[in-house]
Structure 1
Amino acid sequence: MTIRVFIDGAVGTTGLEIRERLDGRDGIEQLILAEADRKDPAKREDALNSADFVILCLPDDAAREAVAMIRNEKVRVIDASTAHRVAPDWTYGFAELEPGQSAAIAEAARVSNPGCYPTGFLALVRPLIRAGMVPLDHVFSVNAVSGYSGGGKSMIAEFEDRASEGFTDTAFRIYGLGLAHKHVAEMQKHARIEHAPIFLPAVANTYRGMVVEVPLPLHAFTRRPSIEACENVLREAYKDSPLVRVLPADVPLVRIEEDAGTDRLSLRVFGNIETGQARLVATLDNLGKGAAGAAVQNLNIMAGLDPVAGLVL
């Protein structure tokens, strides 16, 4: 059986990456509109209602508009924008997040793709919270740095246009200084914690890749979990996942490019036994498991295909 897939917004960074992963795959027919037709509301609406699966790679408002245009109840949607990540009637598309999450995605008509930063944060903390090692009222801080492709066309232009003009002065910069980043609500809801985390994002002068860190004062928690116990909980949570791996902490070199060009997610637990402090670290490709790779994984699951088909492990 062949499934018909329409990527609305396929000319953007995430959309192009998804198309690349789907190109040439048996059993998948992509509905692709010509340049002129993309701007024709009637032809776009027809494509939205003719596909078996629609993948939205649009700004939030445009994504909501596209969903409203879908009248065919058989069309199933994956939204890569932020628009529906905390919506109660959408299934969160992080297959490894909870036991049974993949099964829920398989049955869902509407799936919201996770954000890149929340993917790293949630993968690190949700199993520990579920195991009762970290209290629900702990105020998390999240230190994270992404390749500049995570900021879309405007941020890509900021870095690449400067480089083409001979400027190399922007090696690293922080942002989100108002502490109101759109990923915060997503992190809080899906971690199932009481307080919004303090989110400290940054961007580095590299095209793709991401490091997400969560420091934990283990000595301050009631259960006083050990560093080894935290690592064991993560290993158990992802033991059957082909995309999420828990690496030993004996190789301390962690690079932003470590998982760039792949669709995997790597987790580590570092710490100091004497102080009872830990650093949880995740690396991933902001365009892979953090965006396009996750969308393709969700498509595979929803269509009953091999979950990692078309992905780079």
Structure 2
Amino acid sequence: MTTTTKTKLARVFIDGEAGTTGLEIRERLAGVPQIDVKSIDPAKRKDRAARAEMLRDVDLVVLCLPDDAARETVALADELGSNAPKIVDASTAHRVADGWVYGFAEMAPGQADAIRSATRVANPGCYPTGGIALIRPLVEAGIIEPDHPITVNAVSGYSGGGRTMIEAYEAGTAPPFELYGLGLEHKHVPELQTYSGLTRRPIFVPSVGNFRKGMLVSVPLHLDTLSGRPSLADVEAALRDYYKNAALVSVVTGSAAKAGRLEAEGLNDTDRLELFVFGKPELNQAVLVARLDNLGKGAAGAAVQNIKLMLGLD
């Protein structure tokens, strides 16, 4: 007689599954056969006892909530002690908090292992994912000094702006393009500075365009102000070496990097991140650009990557 052992599915609860990121994560997890996604009765989603019971019953919870609500759920999980699930927080509440691992697996050697062994992971912001990917390798290589003045410019599709912005664009009442965060206190700046390795606060100027998703993050540099006066080739080589073993992060070279034009939607519906070095050697100037899907590697894609790492499914 042959017996078969049924593999136990990992149970995952998406707290805030009706939002943009929650829906994206749920759709992606539907294609992972080792995971069983649990949902709470909508009538009980604010019932503290019912939420505690759900947290106790799952292996991992994904928080797709406003910051204060995410903190409340974490506090509720704390009360469960050893019965608490692992947590992936997609809000900004814990991205630079003690006791949380930053969920950018390619950020540094050993980061994926840190995520794999963590019980609490803060999913990165979409903009910082691109900025950190460009800046941190150059800081670690000594090309950019930690206190160097850095400016990060970025444009995103409107899906990253929340329900109100999405509704405005889809109703045709939003402007075709706008800068925002011009008070220079955007909520992504702390993680951008911390994980890039910068001691001087960077200037961050985000913007939104009339397209649903896609993102470009750019960092302009005067090469003759940097340590050792690096060439464009030096900068590109440092990035290539840093990501040489990264499956999802690549440095684009050749004709694509010399075209002088780049559109934001080229990686939509993927979890990839592409890095470019644009410039002209005799000008001693460069513009570094990261391209990603703000709902892919910038949100849901990164969350699913972290979920798989934490559940041993990678």
Superposition TM-score, scaled by structure 2 size: 0.93
Distance (whole Å) between structure 2 residues aligned to residue 87 and residue 190 of structure 1: 12
Aligned match for 2:67, one of 45, 60, 68: 60
- Residue 32 of structure 1 and its aligned partner are, at CA, apart by 1.1
1:294 to 276, 294, 302: 302
Q: CA deviation at 1:34?
A: 2.8
1: distance between equivalents of 2:135 and 2:227?
Answer: 17
Amino acid at match of 1:269: V
Match of 1:271 in 2: 279
Cα distance, 1:156 vs. partner? Answer: 0.4
Q: Is the 8 A contact 2:142 2:227 kept in 1?
A: no
RMSD over aligned CA atoms reads: 1.2
Question: How many residue pairs were aligned?
Answer: 301
Q: Shift of the alpha carbon at 1:38?
A: 2.1
Q: Point out where structure 2 has 5 or more consecutive residues left out of the alignment.
A: 1-7
Q: Is the contact made by 1:49 and 1:72 (CA closer than 8 Å) also made in structure 2?
A: no
Counting aligned pairs with the same residue, the percent is 55
Matched, 1:140 2:150: yes
Conserved 8 A contact 2:9-2:34: yes
Q: What is aligned with 1:25?
A: 32
Contact 2:124 2:299 survives alignment (8 Å): yes
Secondary structure of the 1:189 match is: helix
> What is the distance in 2 between the residues matched to 1:136 and 1:64?
31
Paired letter, 2:191: E
Q: How far apart are residue 72 of structure 1 and its match? A: 4.2
1:37: how far off?
A: 2.7
3-state DSSP of counterpart to 1:274: helix
Name structure 1 gaps, 5 residues minimum.
307-313
2:234 equivalent to 1:224:
no
Partner of residue 199 from structure 2, selected from 191, 194, 201: 194
Q: Answer with 83-92 or 232-241: which moved more.
A: 232-241
State the Cα distance separating 1:270 from its structure 2 match.
0.6
Shift of 1:209: 0.6
Instruction: Provide the C-alpha distance between the structure 2 equivalents of 1:49 and 1:215, rounded to a whole number of angstroms.
Output: 48
Taking the aligned partners of 2:248 and 2:208, their CA distance within structure 1 comes to 24
Q: Secondary structure of 2:185's match? A: coil
Q: Deviations over 1:232-284 (max 9, x none)?
A: 11111111111111111133331011111111111100112112111000111
- How far 1:299 moved relative to its partner? 0.7
Q: Which residue of 1 aligns with 2:3?
A: none
Choose which of 76, 80, 88 in structure 1 pairs with 2:86. Answer: 76
Q: Find the aligned partners of 1:82 and 1:14 in 2 and give their Cα distance.
A: 13
**1:176 paired residue among 181, 190, 211:** 181
Cα deviation code 1:104-124 (max 9, x no counterpart): 111111100000000000000
Residues 214 and 289 (structure 1 numbering): CA distance in 2 closer, same or farther, change over 3 Å? same
Q: In structure 1, what is the Cα distance between the partners aligned to 2:270 and 2:29?
A: 15
Q: What residue number does 1:310 align with? A: none
Q: In 2 relative to 1, CA 44–253 (structure 1 residues): closer, same or farther, beyond 3 Å?
A: same
Partner secondary structure for residue 295 of structure 1: helix
8 Å Cα contact 1:4-1:53 kept in structure 2? yes
Verify the 8 A CA contact 1:219 1:275 in the aligned structure 2: no
Q: Once the two structures are superposed, what CA deviation does each residue of 1:63-86 show, in whole Å capped at 9, x if it has no partner?
A: 000001111435110000000001
